[in-house]
C-alpha cells in the first residue's frame, strides 16, 4: 500500500488552517503537532500544511475529483473563488485556488462545462 502526502509550507499557521478548512470543507483529519495539519482528500491521499515561513509559497498540487462541478460549487459556496480555470480536451478542467502564501491547490476532472 502507498500513501501520498502533498505538503504546503505556510508562513501563518492559523490563517492557512482557516483557508484550507474553507477550501476543503472540513477540519483536518489529524494534526501531528501544533504547527502541522493533515486533510484526507482520497483513499491514501492527503494534503498537509506546515509552518515553514522560510519556504512558504510556491507549492503546486492537484487533486483529481469524481465530480468537479460539485467540488467547485462547494468551494464557491464557502466564499472562495478560483484563481484561474484551465480547460483541456474532452471536458477536462483544472480549477486553481491560491492560498494566502501563494501555494496553489487545484482540483481537476471532467465536467459538464466545456
Q: What is the mean pLDDT of residues 89-110?
A: 96
Which domain covers residue 22, as residue numbers? 4-110
pLDDT digits (tens, 9 = 90+) for 33-85: 999 999 999 999 999 999 999 999 999 999 999 999 999 999 999 999 999 99
In this predicted structure, the answer to whether residue 111 has a pLDDT above a threshold of 80 is: no
Going by pLDDT thresholds of 50, 70 and 90, the confidence category of residue 1 is: confident
Is 9 within 8 Å of 101 (Cβ atoms)? yes
Output the domain CATH number for residue 89: 3.10.180.10
What pLDDT, on a 0 to 100 scale, did the predictor assign at position 112? 66
Going by pLDDT thresholds of 50, 70 and 90, the confidence category of residue 110 is: confident
Q: What is the pTM of this model?
A: 0.93
Q: Where are the beta strands (DSSP E) in 11-103?
A: 30-33, 36-42, 45-51, 60-64, 84-87, 92-98
In this predicted structure, the answer to whether residue 29 has a pLDDT above a threshold of 90 is: yes
Number of domains observed in the structure of the chain: 1
What pLDDT, on a 0 to 100 scale, did the predictor assign at position 61? 97
In this predicted structure, the answer to whether residue 113 has a pLDDT above a threshold of 60 is: no
In this predicted structure, the answer to whether residue 97 has a pLDDT above a threshold of 60 is: yes
| Distances from the Cα of 3 to the Cα of 45, 71, 112, angstroms | 6, 22, 30
Amino acid at each position: 500500500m502507498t500513501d501520498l502526502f502533498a505538503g504546503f509550507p505556510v508562513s501563518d499557521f492559523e490563517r492557512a488552517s482557516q483557508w484550507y478548512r474553507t477550501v476543503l470543507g472540513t477540519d483536518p483529519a489529524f494534526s501531528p503537532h501544533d504547527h502541522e495539519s493533515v486533510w484526507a482528500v482520497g483513499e491514501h491521499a492527503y494534503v498537509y500544511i506546515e509552518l515553514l515561513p522560510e519556504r512558504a509559497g510556491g507549492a503546486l498540487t492537484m487533486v483529481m475529483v469524481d465530480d468537479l462541478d460539485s467540488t467547485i460549487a462547494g468551494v464557491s459556496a464557502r466564499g472562495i473563488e478560483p484563481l484561474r480555470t484551465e480547460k483541456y480536451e474532452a471536458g477536462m478542467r483544472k480549477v486553481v485556488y491560491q492560498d494566502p502564501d501563494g501555494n496553489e491547490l487545484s482540483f481537476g476532472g471532467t465536467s459538464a462545462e466545456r
